[in-house]
Amino acid sequence: MTARLRSATSIRGALLGVLIWMPAAAPALASDTPAADAGVEAGRRALSGHTQFPWYDAERDGLRRVDVRPPRDTAEHRRSKWQAEPSLPASNRPSFGTGWGWLGALLETLLWTALLAVLGFLIYLLARTYLLSHAAPEVADSTERETKAEADSIESLPFEMPRPQADLLAQARRLYEQGAYAQAIVYLFSYQLVQLDRHQAIRLTRGKTNRQYLRELLSRPELKRILEHTMIAFEDVFFGHHPLDRAGFERCWERLDEFHQNLTEAAT
């Protein structure tokens, strides 16, 4: 609209200049007079006034080329930059540590790593609490059953012995650490007999002798040799009242892992 008004104003100015110039220029057609020069000068002053005409070049006193562009689509012109480009460039996206360079990226990585570690630890605690709450009664029942079975087996041992404060193996270990090797060998031998009975390698019955238990292990020679080694040290102490030194007890104690391994293989 502005371009059209300016064009109309320019046309009116041109016509006015022509009208001013033509009366003065008419006599000049016939003769070259000062009046003709005055008319030309008046037209030049009219075109060079406060009103600017895009098609008039005042310096050359001639016409100037005017490039006319079609108007822009108003609907497209009114669209915002976000509407034209919905996705922001990566440089404009907010990020932790913006402007910090590699230090900001490192801090962001450490922050996410710490959050993941805390989340994993919380999941572990929840899972552990859940498992313990459901498994605790079963473990307690199993421990109670083992304690009762061991107490019943002690009653079937072929010799009398004081009741242990804990289980047989723990009592043997405690006495061994205290240096009471003669008492420790009694509980170690009792533990081996009870375990053999529990794994059905022998049948623990009151009234049987130690030699009878050895005969029951003829089909399992490795277990027989281990039990016989402990039995000899036990009988020297229990029946012969001989002292037992640390080395003598440790020769039996060191074969405990081998004893457990052979028990597992026998059960399998």
Domain 156-267 has CATH 3.40.50: no
CA distance 23 to 36: 9
pLDDT at 230 over 90: yes
Q: What is the mean pLDDT of residues 57-67?
A: 70
Q: What is the reported pLDDT for 23?
A: 47
For residue 84, pLDDT beyond 60 = no
Please, what is the average pLDDT of the chain? 74
Strands (E), the chain: 56-57, 62-63
- Partners of residue 62 on adjacent β-strands: 57
| Predicted local confidence at residue 36, as pLDDT | 61
- Structure confidence by residue, pLDDT tens digits, 10-27: 555 555 554 444 444 444
Q: Is the entire prediction scored with pTM above 0.85?
A: no
Distances (CA, A) of 161 to 74, 182, 239, 241, 246: 108, 13, 12, 14, 21
Please determine, for residue 174, whether its predicted confidence score (pLDDT) is greater than 90. Answer: yes
Among 239, 192, 182, smallest CA distance to 214 is for 192
pLDDT band at residue 186, thresholds of 50, 70 and 90? Answer: very high
Res. 136: pLDDT tops 50: no
**Position 253: which residue type?**
W
Helix-then-strand count for the chain, H and E? 11, 2
- pLDDT for 135 equals 56
Task: Measure CA of the first residue to CA of the last residue in the chain; give whole Å.
Answer: 102
Task: Look at residue 79 in the predicted model and tell me its pLDDT.
Answer: 56
User: What local confidence, expressed as pLDDT, does residue 11 receive?
Assistant: 54
Residue 2 has pLDDT above 80, yes or no: no
Residue at 104: amino acid letter:
G
Strand partners, 63: 56
For the chain, what are the domain ranges? 2-63, 102-148, 156-267
Q: Count CA atoms within 13 Å of residue 228 on its CB side.
A: 13
Flag whether pLDDT at 8 surpasses 90: no
Range 254-268 average pLDDT: 87
**What band does 106 get if pLDDT is binned at 50, 70 and 90?**
confident
Q: Is the pLDDT of residue 200 over 50?
A: yes
* pLDDT confidence band for 45 (50 / 70 / 90): confident
Q: What is the mean pLDDT of residues 33-57?
A: 68
Residue 172 has pLDDT above 60, yes or no: yes
**What one-character DSSP code corresponds to residue 200?**
T
Q: What is the pLDDT of residue 265?
A: 83
- Predicted local distance difference test score (pLDDT) of residue 21: 46
